Amino acid sequence: MVKNVDEMQQFGKDNMDVAMKSFGTMSSGLQAIAAEFANYSKAAMENHAAAAEKLMGAKSMEKALEVQSEYVKSAYEHYIAHATKLGELYSGLAREMYGPLGGVMGKKPFSS
């Protein structure tokens, strides 16, 4: 009986340790994702303001269309780079969170 109680306590402790490690990983991963969103938003606003300034200074319709085309191309490339980076961050976070949980999934709670 005492052996089973000790095993149950150790099992609970092990699970708590894994959960705390997983929550720590999740916290740092979500902070990295939030930082990436903030960086993207800041850069996008700066690019938009610069393009708007160029557009206001355009002397002809051709120049205005050129500025607009450059802005759209730049914004698209920036967005694709951002989406790729976010995908990598999310998949890395999932892998890191699953790592500690994978070892616990196959364990039996206690021997019978």
Question: Residue 21's pLDDT is what?
Answer: 83
Dist CA 54 CA 60 (whole Å): 12
Whether 74 contacts 47, CB under 8 Å: yes
How would you write the pLDDT of the chain (112 residues) with one tens digit per residue? 567 778 778 778 887 888 888 888 888 999 999 999 999 999 999 999 999 999 999 999 999 999 999 999 999 999 999 999 999 999 999 888 877 666 655 555 555 5
Question: Residue 90's pLDDT is what?
Answer: 94
Question: Residue 24's pLDDT is what?
Answer: 84
Question: Residue 101's pLDDT is what?
Answer: 65
Whether 68 contacts 55, CB under 8 Å: yes
Whether 95 contacts 22, CB under 8 Å: no
